[in-house]
Structure 1
Amino acid sequence: MKTSRRHFLMLGMGMGVGSSLVLSRAAFADTANRLSATDPKAQAVGYVEDASKVDKAKFPAYAAGQTCANCSLFLGKATDAYGGCTLFGDKQVAARGWCSSYTNM
């Protein structure tokens, strides 16, 4: 069977669309797995996605510079935008986030 240039281009475009669908599905799965600040477990420990928004009156133990990225419970790399946390199972927390369980031992 002789492959025409048109067939070759169509095949290439189909593969490109297919790979972009796979990438977008992976990106969606990553977003869907993020911990929401409205999650009951997150609310129980005062989790916020941005440590600069911590209610300092409610959480006096908070100190500037404390973030999930430098917490000993954070399972991602310090350079990751989101990563796992031993408190929240398979949910991803924001590296710049904070909660009252922060520890840096």
Structure 2
Amino acid sequence: MNWNQLTEVEQLQTIKEESYNYPVLILKHSTTCSISSTALNRLERNWKQEKVGELKPYYLDLLRYRPISNEIANLFKVEHQSPQVLIIQNGECVYEASHFEISFAELEGAVA
């Protein structure tokens, strides 16, 4: 899986713009949380790019970049969770899951 690192608040505007061309995935991950590590591992183990088409994945380290997480909640009108995945299409969050609800099969269905 080829993650794009989300390290600057300004990238959120880029993500929003990109989402008009193809869906964008944001994974909010806490590096010290076992549930978050499990969700990340399951997602990476099952990832098949050909099944999600042009879905572009971004990875956010919540502990290092908490202000970005807060801005994601504001910009895309979602409640903060950790771990959490969001799919952004046409500038809006069209899918959100957290904790053990995060699964590749669900992501695949959301972008189909």
Compute the TM-score of the two structures, normalised by the length of structure 2: 0.23
State the TM-score, normalized to the length of structure 1. Answer: 0.24
Structure scoring higher RCO (CA < 8 A, sep ≥ 6) equals 2
In terms of fraction of residues, the more strand-rich structure is 2
